[in-house]
Structure 1
Amino acid sequence: LTPLQDLFSCLQWDQALDSNLGSLIKRTSDLESLMGKLIQTCQHVEVNASRQENKLLEECDLLINIIQQRRQIIATKIKEGKAMRLRKLAQQIASCKQCIERSSSLITQADVALKETDQTRFLQTAKSICERLSMATASSQILLPEINLNDTFDTFALDFTREKKMLESLDYLTAPNPPVIREELCTASYDTITVHWTSEDEFSVVSYELQYAIFTSQSNVVSLCNSADSWMIVPNIKQNHYTVHGLQCGTKYIFIVKAINQAGNRSSEPGKLKTNSQPFKLDPKSAHRKLRVSHDNLTVERDETSSKKSHSQDRFSSHSSYGVTGNVYIDSGRHYWEALIGGSTWFAVGIAYKSAPKHEWVGKNSASWVLSRCNNSWVVRHNCKEMPIEPSPHLRRLGILLDYDSGYLSFYDAVGSQHLYTFDIAFAQPVCPVFNVWNRCLTVLTGLPIPDHLEGTDYNN
């Protein structure tokens, strides 16, 4: 047995060595590939850094050229202002000098005239000199300076405070950090979603860009992000929130937010948000005369004033469909609503075409599909065909999911998340929610989001 054991042992070690050798070869190949990528990244860093350094020199040279140009322009303005003021001052000094010379000559002549002792000669010269003195006095009074005597070019200043601060704030600008979509702050209606996000680099962000697309259970996030055709884009958003309008009701969307500045942009992680279902209320005009609809049009109640005998007869009469419809007709999309069972033990909930008979039990014809309870008997019913179901005995909230485009109507225990039944329907007309009540009451809850556990539901029973 020893040679066989040795041979078996050799085979084991050979297999182990071969396996380890294969693993080491693969690991070595992976490391070589990684090293190649690292070397390539180093080369990119070198090239990009050199490009940025050259760009820095170009930008600084441009700033220096602008400063030199402005210095020359401002210096020229200072020289021109100086020359203009000195020219005007020189002209005024020359005018003052001429006036002084004329005044001095007249003063001398007046002194001579005043010293004249001959009365005849005095009278001959006094009148002429007096007129000339009067004219000279008037002309000297209107000799006003053309510029303010206090304007000595000291009321002008060079204020580059703002420019200095701007130059001091120059820095190497990088793309903003990725923003974060705050799903807990986002809100939705049946056709809008308001997206909120935060950014660590809020002051360096020039604008945001919001991208969104429909997200289905078959969607792949990576492939969806790489497909530009699938996305709607909202550019140039200045706030950190945005409301998207015109969305499909009861639909999940994927959102991405880009933070942008001159250096580039970075994108948030995808956020998944969904619109609510289309809201509706009960239509009081459609209610049977023995039903009462509440003021808010959300609760329907059977009028219990009639006798029990009448109740019993009505329940089994084919002409006693005590029903009321919703005030909406649906012809597309996904919709979800719930019915609160207010102690009722005789009711039916579902959908019907507008053409369905008004006074016939819903589900007894080909134009209506319902889930019904008759005391302890639970059934789903369509076109007179019934199928029993077994919900929880404590069912109090019934969920209804309608996918019109895919042709499905599903019923759920809204609290226990139990799937009760799904109709497969080829819709030919718009449908309307219907509610029948033979005792107590039902309350509808609408405008709800489709619960997460129903997203991507397999409708097959």
Structure 2
Amino acid sequence: MEEEAGEEPGLGRSTAPRDFHFYHMDLYDSEDRLQLFPGENNRIRREVIEAEDDHELGEEFVDEHRLGAFGYPPYGMKRRDLAREQRDWRLSGEAAEAEDLDYGGQVLAGQCQTLREAYGRASEEYECYVIPEEEDEEEPADVFCITCKTPIRAVEKEFDEHKDHEVTPLNKALENAKDEIHKNMYKLEQQIIEMENFATHLEEVFITVEENFGRQEQNFESRYNEILETLAQKYEEKIQALGKKKKEKLETLYGQLVSCGENLDACKELMETIEEMCHEEKVEFLKDAVAMTDRLGKFLKTKTDVVISTQPEFEDQTLDFSDVEQLMDSINTVPAPSAPVINPQAPNSATGSSVRVCWSLYSDDTVESYQLSYRPVQDNSPGKDQVEFTMTVKETYCSVTNLEPNTQYEFWVIAQNRTGPSPSSEHAVYMTAPSPPIIKSKAIRSCEEAVLICWESGNLNPVDSYTVELTPEETPETSGVTESVVGIPTCESLIQLQPRHSYTIYVRALNVGGTSARSKPAMVHTTGSYFHLNKDTCHPWLTISEDEFTVVRSEKKTLKREPPPGKAQFTRCVAVMGSLIPVRGRHYWEVEVDECLDYTVGVAFDDVPKQEDLGANCMSWCMRHTFTSARHKYEFLHSKTTPDIRVTVAPKKIGILLDYENSKLSFFNVDISQHLYTFSCQLHQFVHPCFSLEKPGCLKIHNGISMPKHVTFF
């Protein structure tokens, strides 16, 4: 029976848990099965292992007749006592044997002494190296209590205060702790990168301000030194001219003063001579008067210059400072700057609506402002006007806003000062970050260990890659932790997750400009497989509910027109497919059925013929139920063949287990935990769940549920 069900060897009832019941295909089987006692087996195995250890450490002192039933010393006997007993026994045997021999007393005594010393050394050596057992030695911890966050022994989980706590193996707890540390390290790395980018930005501003003011200081210092040199030169020239004028005036005045003194002396001499003549005799007076009259007449006829040749006032000297004024003006007059050099776009310098543009200039230039111009990059088709935008900035960088996402823009910059503008820089192309992607919630496929996420780009132009961010449901262990999967080239990604967890998923798009904002969140639960019914494959006689989990067949309708063969829609078979399950692993779902309903459930490849019944070809594996007034009939169909199996208890809910790894498809009666049948499939590609209604009725699909215990053993 088990071979017909396609079960693997080794999956017999002896390895199943006690709460799992097997049923024969035509009769309920007895529950009296061989029971295992794990606790008793463990005790026996522990005794055997400890006995083996005793045998290995003391085998050279233990005789066969002293060993237990298994050939080992009795459990619990101290190694030291056992060795001592063996030593005494062997010594007594040697002594008795020596008495029977014809050896001398001295020889016999020497041999006995030698034996005693040898065995004594061996015993002492044995006693030194044997570590006595400690019956109360504490067993090492082998599990980790998640509730108390501490390592414990497995026995404490069953009998101690940790009985109702959730535990996990130490290795798994260690891996989880490492993962959490790695996630926190990733967050720290992101913060470091952000701070480094901000520090780089501040450094650029600092260098720009320092260079601008440094150039201004050098310019002012140069002009000031030129003005001082010019003024000093003019000072020397004017001082020399004033000295020359002073010398000339003083020499002229001195000459006039000497001439005036000589005339004054001559006048005084004449006056004295005339006074002396007046006191003389008349005859002598008359004689001298005639001569004096001639002399005095000549003296009076000589004109004395009494007009000062130069005035004492300072003559106003006109100073020409025109060249100094030109130098003063040159302080505020600088040459026009050279063309700036626009920098290539830096990574992560853009958002979806803005971009940060940077440029540099030559060190000798003095700049008052910049004119930044830009326009979107378009094709040069005739008749299309490229609109240009210009803005004035003071720094050597600018954040341009109100841009279109995932779009290339052409930038160029011109430097300006009071002298005039510089030539234009070279044109550089910058790109804005993409728009957030759009997650297709209904296209998400999940199982207990993985999820397949699908999304739309949300951008007209291609992007470089995508990043998926997953935030686990808020728990003390995962609070604020976000995992990232980067470098995804397409609009879907298969991600391994922890079972029985809930995640919030976001997707970002990346290009050379930066990262987009997060997409709208989507929830993923790894409690089981999840899929929807595909309306594109639905036969016209079937109706799918709004939530896409229920399929209904009403009374028979007449088709106005048969669908063309070869399309995705079923034509002959009144069936519908579920979404593809493209995630490797184990998938489980349940179908709620009616006992009086004719239905078919199973799986099929994507290209299964839509004009054939399910199970009628090698591309589908199905369970089919037909109901007549006499009995229920169950068939497990593949390539139009079915095994001879009877199911006596009609299931009201059918469990289906799809195992990609082992290429198996199993069916279960959920209500009584009964295994019905297992296909060994050749699953060379992914499959779709499929459902068919041969009479009016309803099938309700339950997915996203955990696998029951009785399913996990198949």
TM-score tier, shorter chain, comes to 0.3 to 0.5
TM-score, normalised to structure 2's length? 0.30
Give the TM-score normalised by the residue count of structure 1.
0.44
Bigger Rg, structure 1 or 2? 2
Q: Higher RCO, 1 or 2 (CA under 8 Å, sep at least 6)?
A: 1
